[in-house]
């Protein structure tokens, strides 16, 4: 007779879910950690106001708050690491973080929701869990927490996204991973372009390029060198991590939708300035932006232009020196000065 655990894993596999883990319903330390980071000023108010798990950390610390009668937390993981060749003339191109190479978040969320529907079809109750992905992955034995403040799966490294759900079914908890980072390793911390990892396991979100590139307004001058040619997303700490050196790529086929290959992952910088709002919505809209408009695509691209050392792009920056948009004008002036 097939056990419920085996049936769920088979259903998950049929849905294209690669990783599945289970945990009993336990309160975590998430609220305490978040409150500490907020008190230390490490999470910008803008992020707190826009993010439910930071506004309500107590809820996200207790899985039973997601559903009365919940007995098991289930976490599903979607590896996303794939290889794409960089252009030969890379200095004239931008770069998009790997977690944005496809619309992987939407894809995994849909698979998680399909698993919820499957459980309901078995006469069980299940709902999405209000649990932070990092906590869910650790609690259910899918990953361990690295000094980069990211979770690391033994097979796929840190190149994995996670979503979770709770159910009234009782499932045997997965064994948690007791592994830790190599003793004394600081590669993620030392490699961070903006020194956002201020101590092991602790990220100053306001200094992280993932936040800076999605935020509105002017990119701080102290961060502009660190941006390099990044248009959105940053992989530097993950690329430096020795635990990622021998991980497996995401299993094929990759089911998440893929944007225009001319725009993601290595768009020509010049092309970034002709993207229409419709193209922005289709190819960049699923990424994290506080304002997902071409204005901020251009802003980020102007920083990449200034960092490119490609003097042929100087004329691109010149086009915005007299812009009515003060933000674009500011970044164009900086880029032009860098290319003198």
pLDDT one-digit tens code per residue, 202-211: 999 999 999 9
Mean pLDDT of 127-134: 97
Q: Which residues of 134-171 are buried (b: 16+ CB within 10 A; e: fewer)?
A: bbbbbbbbbbbbbbbbbbbbeebbbbbbbbbbbbebeb
Mean pLDDT of 329-338: 98
H or E stretch including 100?
none
Mean pLDDT of 127-153: 97
* Residue-wise pLDDT tens digits, 215-256: 999 999 999 999 999 999 999 999 999 999 999 999 999 999
**pTM, 2 dp:** 0.96
**Angle at CA 182, nearest 5°, toward 18 and 36?**
80
* Residue-wise pLDDT tens digits, 52-88: 999 999 999 999 999 999 999 999 999 999 999 999 9
pLDDT value of residue 2:
67
Tokens found for residue 27: 């309160």
pLDDT at 1 over 60: no
Tokens found for residue 202: 């602790």
Cα–Cα dist 318/296, whole Å = 17
3-state helix, strand, coil in the chain (%, to 5): 40, 15, 45
Residue intervals of the chain classified under CATH 3.40.109 are 4-81+102-167
- With a pLDDT cut of 70, the percent of the chain lying above it is 99
Which CATH class name applies to 4-81+102-167? alpha beta
pLDDT value of residue 134:
96
pLDDT value of residue 239:
98
pLDDT at 103 over 60: yes
């Amino acid at each position: 007779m097939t056990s419920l655990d085996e049936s769920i894993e088979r259903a998950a596999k049929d849905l294209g879910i690669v990783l599945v883990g289970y945990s009993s319903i336990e309160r975590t330390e998430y609220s305490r950690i978040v409150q500490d980071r907020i008190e230390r000023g490490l999470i910008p108010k803008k992020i707190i106001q826009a993010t439910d798990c930071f506004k309500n950390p107590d809820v996200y610390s207790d899985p039973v708050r997601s559903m009365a009668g919940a007995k098991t937390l289930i976490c599903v993981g979607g590896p996303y690491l794939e290889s794409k060749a960089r252009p030969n003339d890379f200095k004239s191109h931008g770069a998009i973080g790997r977690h944005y190479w496809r619309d992987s978040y939407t894809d995994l969320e849909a698979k998680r929701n399909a698993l919820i529907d499957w459980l309901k079809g078995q006469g069980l109750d299940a709902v999405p869990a209000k649990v932070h992905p990092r906590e869910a992955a650790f609690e259910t034995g899918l990953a361990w927490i690295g000094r980069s403040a990211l979770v690391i799966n033994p097979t796929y490294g840190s190149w994995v996204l996670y979503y979770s759900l709770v159910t009234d079914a009782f499932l045997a908890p997965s064994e948690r991973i007791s592994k830790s980072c190599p003793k004394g390793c600081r590669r993620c911390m030392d490699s961070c372009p903006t020194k956002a990892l201020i101590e092991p396991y602790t990220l100053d979100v306001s200094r992280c390029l993932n936040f800076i590139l999605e935020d509105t307004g002017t990119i701080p001058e102290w961060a502009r060198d660190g941006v390099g040619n990044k248009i959105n997303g940053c992989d530097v700490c993950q690329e430096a991590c020795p635990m990622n050196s021998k991980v497996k790529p995401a299993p094929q086929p990759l089911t998440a939708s893929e944007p225009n290959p001319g725009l993601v992952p290595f768009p020509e910088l010049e092309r970034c300035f002709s993207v229409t709002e419709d193209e922005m919505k289709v190819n960049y809209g699923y990424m994290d932006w506080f304002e997902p408009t071409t204005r901020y695509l251009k802003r980020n691209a102007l920083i990449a232009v200034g960092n490119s050392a490609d003097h042929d792009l100087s004329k691109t920056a010149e086009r915005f020196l007299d812009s009515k948009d003060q933000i674009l004008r500011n970044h164009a002036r900086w880029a032009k000065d860098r290319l003198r």
